[in-house]
Amino acid sequence: MRTIQLNHALTAKTHTSSAMFLLITGALMLAGSIFYFQQISSKTQRLEADIEQLMHSKNQRPLLKVNSKEYIQARDEAVAVNAAISEIVMPWAPIFKTLEATDRADVKLMSVEPNTKKQALRMNAVAMDVDSMMRYVDDLSQQKMLTSVTLVTQQSADINGQPAVHFVVEARW
């Protein structure tokens, strides 16, 4: 019988070098992960200590005494300022674009009175006849920005010797 000799020395070296590379890479990644975990843990502890310190400092503040007359005066001023701001912040550009879209030659818009609290417009206008007035009101009611367009009043008028209709329309935006 013949003997067979197997020599695994060459293949073992190639596997050993790649295994050693993987082992060193894994060890470095483990060391990096542990270092990162320690940094996060120390940051967490510092933040928790800061939160606790802030909670204790809030409880130890002396309460300020508020003068009720000064408080009421400041509150009234704030309400007045907020009302003025709401008047300024009114959507003027879209309102005027809507009114320009309904411009008719036979209807003249005389005045526009906004009411910001009710989000409403009151418009005074003059039309040459009742049909023109009704077409204008219909045109206003078809605008997307305006809702609940209502003809409030109408009366006959005389403009430069010609009969006309003076009317008031209210709409909400």
Q: Pick the closest to residue 169 from 110, 88, 118 (CA basis).
A: 110
> What is the edge-to-edge ordering of all strands in the sheet holding 147-159?
107-115, 120-127, 162-172, 147-159
Q: Where are the alpha helices (DSSP H) in the chain?
A: 9-59, 68-88, 92-101, 130-141
Q: Which CATH superfamily is domain 90-172 in?
A: General secretion pathway protein M, EpsM (3.30.1360.100)
pTM of the model: 0.51
Tell me the C-alpha distance between 137 and 151, whole Å.
7
Contacts of 97 (CB under 8 A, 6+ apart): none
Beta carbons of 168 and 139 less than 8 angstroms apart: no
Q: Does 10 have pLDDT greater than 90?
A: no
Q: What is the mean pLDDT of residues 134-138?
A: 95
- pLDDT given at position 60: 65
- pLDDT given at position 18: 83
Element (H, E) at 122: strand 120-127
Beta carbons of 142 and 100 less than 8 angstroms apart: no
At 57-71, the pLDDT tens digits run 776 655 556 678 888
Tell me the C-alpha distance between 113 and 67, whole Å.
40
- pLDDT given at position 9: 61
CB neighbours of residue 49 within 10 Å? 10
At 155-173, the pLDDT tens digits run 999 988 899 999 999 999 8
Beta carbons of 170 and 150 less than 8 angstroms apart: yes
DSSP designation for 166: E
Tell me the C-alpha distance between 58 and 51, whole Å.
11
For the chain, which residues make up each domain, given as ranges? Answer: 9-61, 90-172
HSE-up (13 A, CA, CB side) for residue 139: 14
